[in-house]
Amino acid sequence: MSSFLWLPGPMEGVMSPEWVRAANSLHLAERWITPFFRLSQELPRRKYFASFLEPYKPVPTVMQLMGTDPGLLAEAACIAEAEGAAGVDFNFGCPSSQVLRHGAGGGILKKPELAGMILRRTLAAVKIPVSVKIRCGWERPEELPELLAHLLAEGPAMLTFHFRCVSEGYLPLAPEERTRRFRMAAELAGERTCLILNGDFSAAEEMRSAVKQYPVGGVMAARGFLRDPGLLRRAAGEHVPPPDVLREAFFRAVIQQYPEGMPPGRAIELSIFLWGKENLCFQKLRGRREPVRLETI
Ligand SMILES: Cc1cc2nc3c(=O)[nH]c(=O)nc-3n(C[C@H](O)[C@H](O)[C@H](O)COP(=O)(O)O)c2cc1C
């Protein structure tokens, strides 16, 4: 077993409770970082934290928080800690216009002082590790030094770095530019945090060579993990069935999580995530109204 972290990228809208339970039943991840839990004005009741975290257990789980109010986020972190989260992570990278409208997610990168303050308040409030997930800047990679200076001064336990800027969304960038940005983040971070590289990793070999190439603590894969549910275990050097076998097994495991059958819309959506558009399952399920069971597929 390697000591590097091979992390599944959080994916709001994909990681439903059923999805997560199915992934746990196949031991696809050693730890989770949840998709964002949004804090806007009031602190939600504690039971919402508990039910949000529940599907991820028994795997150690970092709860990701999103918001702009340092006090509210620190209070939320305390509840996450009390509910057994293995850590809290701040989403400072989401490019969705709905999120940016409120200045949250990637919008925080426009205010490095605020990003630092959020970390400071939370680090003072909890004992569990506090981490951040960022992009290379709001608009330009040249923003990274100032941004990291503010964040690293607070001492986050871990920092996940997606190489694109918020304004770049999911644009393809030249491989040399991706490399340049990874190198810049690794040089700036030095030994001051556990740096996790993220963005466009889809092969275990590439993940392993990244941790040799840069002084980092690990790699995170989100979409690559969807296409190959065994990716993280493969990166860790385990022998796991090939991607097509695992995709099928995972699809079946998700369906099994629905005692009354899986809503067809969700089954189609999942099939597209796993196999892309126009997959066989999609053809079979198109137009279907009845719940999907294992016998159906
Ligand atoms: C559908 C979807 C939902 C996402 N939701 C979140 C989220 O809740 N929190 C977060 O930090 N990143 C989220 N991301 C970003 C991913 O975790 C990851 O940083 C990004 O996709 C780049 O990695 P990849 O190239 O391995 O997919 C999401 C990405 C996708 C595709």
Q: pLDDT tens, 228-275?
A: 999 999 999 999 999 999 999 999 999 999 999 999 999 999 999 999
- Ligand 1: residues with CB < 6 A are 9-14, 35-36, 64, 91, 93-94, 133, 162, 198-201, 221-224
The fraction of the chain above a pLDDT of 90, given in percent, is 91
Among protein residues, the one with the nearest Cα to ligand 1's atom 8 is 35
* 164 CA: nearest ligand 1 atom: 22
Q: Give residue 97 CA to ligand 1 midpoint distance, Å.
A: 15
Rounded Cα–Cα distance for residues 110 and 108 (Å): 5
User: Rounded mean pLDDT of 138-158?
Assistant: 98
Checking if the pLDDT of 96 tops 70, the result is: yes
Q: Give residue 11 CA to ligand 1 midpoint distance, Å.
A: 5
Rounded Cα–Cα distance for residues 80 and 84 (Å): 6
| Arithmetic mean of pLDDT over the chain | 96
Q: What is the pLDDT of residue 258?
A: 97
Among protein residues, the one with the nearest Cα to ligand 1's atom 5 is 11
Q: What is the pLDDT of residues 75-87, one digit of tens each?
A: 999 999 999 999 9
pTM: 0.97
Indicate the top mutation candidate among 6, 11, 39 to test ligand 1's pocket, ranked by most ligand atoms within 8 A of CB.
11
User: Rounded mean pLDDT of 133-142?
Assistant: 98
Would you call 165 helix, strand, or coil by DSSP?
coil
* 202 CA: nearest ligand 1 atom: 26
Q: What is the pLDDT of residue 1?
A: 45
Q: What is the pLDDT of residue 2?
A: 59
User: Rounded mean pLDDT of 188-202?
Assistant: 97
Q: What is the pLDDT of residue 282?
A: 80
Confidence of residue 285 (pLDDT cuts 50, 70, 90): confident
Fold adopted by 5-244: TIM Barrel (3.20.20)
Indicate the top mutation candidate among 88, 223, 225, 270 to test ligand 1's pocket, ranked by most ligand atoms within 8 A of CB.
223
What residue spans define the domains of the chain? 5-244, 261-296
Q: What is the pLDDT of residues 13-35, one digit of tens each?
A: 999 999 999 999 999 999 999 99
Q: What is the pLDDT of residue 251?
A: 95
Q: How far is CA 21 from CA 16, 211, 291, in A?
A: 9, 29, 19
Q: Is cis: bond before 58, omega within 30 of 0?
A: yes
Q: Give residue 170 CA to ligand 1 midpoint distance, Å.
A: 10
Q: What is the pLDDT of residue 288?
A: 85
User: Rounded mean pLDDT of 31-48?
Assistant: 97
Locate 192 and state its tokens. Answer: 């001051």
Q: Give residue 76 CA to ligand 1 midpoint distance, Å.
A: 22
Locate 57 and state its tokens. Answer: 């257990």
